[in-house]
Structure 1
Amino acid sequence: MLTAENLTKKYGDHIALNALNLTIKKGEIFALLGQNGAGKTTTINLFLGFIPPSSGTLEINHISVTENPQETKKYVAYIPETVMLYPNLTGLENLKFFSALAGFRYSNGELTYFLTKAGLQTKAHDQHLGGYSKGMRQKVGIAIAIAKQAKVLLLDEPTSGLDPKASNEFSQILKELSADGTAILMATHDIFRAREVATHIGIMKQGNLVTIIEAAKISANELENMYLQTV
């Protein structure tokens, strides 16, 4: 679903991302770990088509992001650290609006189903976003991804600022989406959450993807030690 070959991004003499080679298959959750400036967000932004690569190629669902950015966006949902929604609209109204932007028309019953599947409590569906916690806004973002029928989910620090309960709920939702076949790329600082939710973990340093680990083959403590030795 997601592939990058020798993907590089330069800003003048500064190399933000250096010859990245990465493949994320259907149903896989790939967590990118690394310090600020390691290249995690640059990778996300390149797949989103927000910035052009300096060299190399990247594809979503076998379609070039560089050559067909509007086509690849049809397959992608993006949840940044802070989900930008309309505070004066309810959760249901936000979902209806953003679904319509993506070309989908749903009944209120269907919209309610998507919000519930994303883990948002029923009583919150008709409350204005202005009163939502960050975790609740993230769930609306997930509901938008479900409604959009996204095959790829890109996440930038999705659990930052969430309390342990909300973070755990978010992880469970990602696992459910993965089981449904969604390919997920997540940039994060949260080593233990990455170990818990991801199928594969990559550690980045100064624009380089230094190592890739199968999450099931390493403990959280081993991952932490490897991370500290790498960065």
Structure 2
Amino acid sequence: MTDKGLKVTDLAIERGGRRVVDGVSLSVAPGEIYALLGGNGTGKSTTLFAILGLLSRAGGEIAVVGRDPARDPDAVRREAAYLPENVALYDHLSAVENVRYFLGLAGEARTLAELDHAFDAVKLAPAARTRRVGGFSKGMRQKTAIALALLRRTPVLLLDEPTSGLDPAAARDFHDLLLDLRQRQVAILMVTHDLFGAADTADRIGVLRGGRIAQEWAAAAQGPRFDVQVLHQSYSGLAAA
């Protein structure tokens, strides 16, 4: 996979004189969801920042739809949408106004019908779309940000703890949306602590420990996608080691 999806090979990143990522390799094809798990300080978010070209790397290679963020970070950010744990929106603007503003910054324009279609897809109620987002719950803010990602039509989506702080119903809606994006052939890399949510949605799950992927599982083609008990025991053991 050289010109589609996401590929990270032997990634190494040093911060404060310490190597926080030390040989991470993973790939995410179009129409695939990869869940990257690990405790605090294991390098999950650092890996995302390097993919976006926000951190320099000490070694390894990154290709986002064939583009290297170290050489062409602007092109990479056009190809990859990023959803942080705490979505940054303008509280004094409505959901529609926020989306239109950020699309304008990206040099893209969409019709009102296209905006409504995206908001319908993320299940943001019509009455909420013209309200100021300052009064939104975290789930509603996430839905607004995902609607923006849909409208940008990027082939790669990077998610940092997307279900943190969401109630169970909002988390289910979010996972349903990820499955819809997978059907649209988006390559999705999701950093998360939510093992059970990952097991419900991901095609592959990797666990970071000591700055590298200590173990990886692939979903079964038939029957239960993952043995959740085995995942839980393995993940708990790796996190405690």
TM-score by length of 2: 0.93
Match of 2:196 among 183, 192, 199: 192
1:163 Cα shift?
A: 0.4
2:77 is matched with which residue? Answer: 73
Alignment counterpart, residue 105 of structure 2, candidates 95, 101, 104: 101
Shift of 1:12: 4.5
List gaps (5 residues or longer) in structure 1.
none
Match of 1:165 among 160, 163, 169: 169
Q: Deviations along 1:6-39, whole A, 9 cap, x unmatched? A: 1100125411101111111001100011000111
CA distance in 2, matches of 1:189, 1:66: 28
The separation in 2 between residues aligned to 1:230 and 1:65, in whole angstroms, is 31
Matched residues, percent identical?
37
Match of 2:47 among 43, 50, 66: 43
Q: Which runs of 4+ in 1 moved over 6 A?
A: none
Count of paired positions:
231
Per the alignment, residue 132 of structure 1 pairs with 136
Answer whether contact 1:18 1:207 (CA < 8 A) is retained: yes
Residue pair 1:119, 1:173 contacting (<8 A) in 2 also: no
Match of 2:229 in 1: 221
Provide the residue aligned with 2:151 in structure 1.
Answer: 147
1:46-69: CA deviation from partner (whole Å, max 9, x where unpaired): 111111111111010011111111
Q: Map of 1:191-210 to 2, 5 A cutoff?
A: 191-210=195-214
- In angstroms, what is the RMSD of aligned CA positions? 1.1
Counterpart amino acid of residue 228 in structure 2: A
Q: CA deviation at 1:218?
A: 2.3
Residue range with higher mean Cα deviation, 50-59 or 107-116: 107-116
| Structure 2 unmatched runs, 5+ | none
In structure 2, relative to structure 1, the CA distance for the partners of 1:229 and 1:26 (3 Å cut) is same
Distance 1:13 1:97 in 2: 39
